[in-house]
């Protein structure tokens, strides 16, 4: 399971053009929970349930989390700009 860090949460929101309220609406988390989490240092983690709700909301909106594989964890849009998923 993807474990969000405050920086990854902000980056995911930025990719989608979402404010904290948009993530709150999509995930069921409170805006204050999101704001408090994003204000913490990078070692901070959400509870498992809140993390799952946020990740599910981001994935439902079309993002894909890239696992840390030597190059660091990341986020990208699931579909390419041309609407495809596969490599060319």
State the pTM of this model.
0.88
CB 31 within 8 A of CB 21: yes
Q: What is the pLDDT of residue 72?
A: 81
In words, the CATH class of domain 6-77 is mainly alpha
Q: What is the pLDDT of residue 58?
A: 98
**Average pLDDT per consecutive 10 residues, the chain (88 residues; last block may be shorter):** 94 98 98 98 96 98 89 87 61
Q: What is the pLDDT of residue 4?
A: 96
DSSP 37-85: HHTS-TT----HHHHHHHHHHHHHTTEEEEPPSSS--EEEESS-TTS--
Q: What is the pLDDT of residue 68?
A: 83
Domain ranges of the chain: 6-77
């Amino acid at each position: 399971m993807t474990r969000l860090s405050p920086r990854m949460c902000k980056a995911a929101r930025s990719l989608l053009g979402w404010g904290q309220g948009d993530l709150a609406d999509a995930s069921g988390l409170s805006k204050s929970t999101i704001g408090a989490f994003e204000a913490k240092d990078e070692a901070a983690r959400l509870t498992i349930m809140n993390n799952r709700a946020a990740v599910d909301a981001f994935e439902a909106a079309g993002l894909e989390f890239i696992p840390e594989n030597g190059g660091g964890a990341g986020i990208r849009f699931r579909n390419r700009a041309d609407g495809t998923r596969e490599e060319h």
